[in-house]
Chains A and B, each alone.
Chain A
């Protein structure tokens, strides 16, 4: 793992240097311009990585993987609990969700908890928040869904002025982790450290997130003891388990001991696809946007003051939603077909008692300790900004290069290369346009130095 800028921040992505061909595909693809090719190998500035997984998808040599947790507590004496994103069910066409959960238990998890219960909690609370704030006129509109963590980090990194738009209800996974931890601690009469939670999901950006970031990202502190597993990490073993008990007599699903241990509804499966959250919330003025480029375009437009007649926008940076996450095991369109069929089989409806949700809402159960604005100060960084003179120099350097954004220098485009020159992270020789003309850094500085020399 590279620490290009010496940042201590954990990275979502791991680059295996020995496998990297230095082709630069990932450099061009990265939405926050965090990757460079240096000395023939890709390196990443961890502080700029938002964990979108685009580099994993585009890498042809398999050198890029997500940093996931080790699944090493299954055979220990700890109580190991799988927190299951409904995307998992879509990976097993034709298999009932409860059988998938049973497969996890057969793998050694003490409990497998489905997430759709918390989706319902979240959507009730969201509808309530919006109807209350619509009346008072509070909140900037539209609210931005906090569900996709990549979107949150994208906002911190590139659109910090939109932080007040982030919907302040805790994300479903945070509600789940907190609730499961609390209830099982009481049930077993044990402490935090005796319980290990593993979040099984398709998203590289949920892997081992620093605790502080979680607290502020509308997530609970209890998640610090949560590991994260990519669906593709457990797919092989889980398939074997499911096949095994499907062949033999089916094991009857154990009676659910807790309300939240009930299995998914069709609604949970819809959540794994783009539009599912929007649909479930039941709001009128709501939009669902999926895809990284589409998300960026919309965020740009919200910054221009557009869409303030809408109440809520669901963003997912993956095409088709979480079902298209980088760490899934099967193709997203196959998964989508399977999820739609299963949603039809299970039926869509709400199971929760609204009165109870309202009581929790009034007790601030849904609200994180800190606001999303606090994200600004920790973990994810904005790109380094430039002084007025530096920016003028960068503009001029781009003119001197007069290149074609070829990327041969290892930076994504000529402008970023010019920025890297100013940051002293690149040399003029890296650029073929400068090299063939024999232009050195001294030449450049001579030509671009601001008129009034300050040194």
Chain B
């Protein structure tokens, strides 16, 4: 099955460019005439994942594979990892620094939002060896 693959580098603490990868992905899907609800969900999840890289993950990669039946986003970083993944998935749980919270980020909604807006989500993380998040979005029809 033909797949369009794109990959983006996301830099730690770079709030200025955070979101650009998601905007690219969003516009790619739009030009393919994907359902606007799917585009919206991909955009929201992509952005949350990007912000996680900017705030927690250190430098990381966001890659996307687009095929006719589904969109898969993989996010990988070599950051500190997550000690308790189950806890991190809870709404409102956040380890964001105060300075990020003052900027209006780090409300503890990132991972829960990804869970809510994607069709499938897997997360694996070990303290010290980074985090890997995969999200899948299925196209209707």
Counting residue pairs across A and B whose Cβ atoms lie within 8 Å, the total is 56
Any chain A CB within 8 A of the CB of B23?
yes
CA distance A386 to B32 in the complex (A): 5
CB within 8 A of A392: which of B4, B22, B43, B47? B4
CB pair A385–B33 under 8 Å, yes or no, is yes
CA distance A132 to B4 in the complex (A): 45
Any chain B CB within 8 A of the CB of A304?
yes
Nearest-CB distance from A88 to chain B (Å)?
A: 38
Nearest-CB distance from B25 to chain A (Å)?
A: 10
CB pair B2–A305 under 8 Å, yes or no, is no
Nearest-CB distance from A213 to chain B (Å)?
A: 20
Any chain B CB within 8 A of the CB of A337?
no
CB pair A303–B33 under 8 Å, yes or no, is no
Residue of A nearest to B36 (CB): A161
CA distance A392 to B1 in the complex (A): 13
Any chain B CB within 8 A of the CB of A258?
no
Any chain A CB within 8 A of the CB of B40?
yes
CB pair B32–A388 under 8 Å, yes or no, is yes
Any chain B CB within 8 A of the CB of A301?
yes
Residue of A nearest to B33 (CB): A385
Contacts A304-B23, A304-B43; is A385 near B37 (CB within 8 Å)? no
Any chain B CB within 8 A of the CB of A450?
yes
Any chain B CB within 8 A of the CB of A395?
yes
CA distance A303 to B52 in the complex (A): 18
Any chain A CB within 8 A of the CB of B79?
no
Contacts A161-B36, A385-B32, A385-B33; is A305 near B4 (CB within 8 Å)? no
CA distance A303 to B44 in the complex (A): 7
List chain A residues, Cβ under 8 A from B4. Answer: 388, 391-392, 395
CB pair A160–B22 under 8 Å, yes or no, is no
Which residues of B, 28-57, contact A by the 8 Å Cβ criterion?
A: 28, 30-33, 36-37, 39-40, 43-44, 46-48
Any chain A CB within 8 A of the CB of B68?
yes
Contacts A388-B2, A391-B32, A392-B2; is A305 near B47 (CB within 8 Å)? yes
Interface size, chain A (Cβ < 8 Å)? 21
CB pair B44–A450 under 8 Å, yes or no, is no
CA distance A389 to B46 in the complex (A): 24
CB pair B31–A303 under 8 Å, yes or no, is no
CA distance A303 to B108 in the complex (A): 20
List chain B residues, Cβ under 8 A from A301. Answer: 19
CB pair A304–B39 under 8 Å, yes or no, is no
List chain A residues, Cβ under 8 A from B113. Answer: 305
Contacts A304-B43, A391-B32; is A450 near B26 (CB within 8 Å)? no
Could you list which residues of chain B lie within 8 angstroms of chain A, going by C-beta atoms?
2, 4, 19, 22-23, 26, 28, 30-33, 36-37, 39-40, 43-44, 46-48, 67-68, 104, 113
| Inter-chain pairs besides A300-B19, A388-B4, A391-B32, 8 sampled, C-beta below 8 Å | A301-B19, A304-B47, A305-B43, A386-B31, A386-B32, A388-B2, A388-B68, A389-B2
A-B residue pairs in contact (CB < 8 Å), sample of 23: A158-B30, A160-B36, A161-B36, A161-B37, A161-B39, A300-B19, A301-B19, A303-B40, A304-B19, A304-B26, A304-B46, A305-B43, A305-B47, A306-B19, A306-B47, A387-B32, A388-B4, A388-B68, A391-B4, A391-B28, A391-B31, A392-B4, A395-B4
4 nearest A-B residue pairs (beta carbon): A385-B33, A161-B36, A305-B44, A304-B47
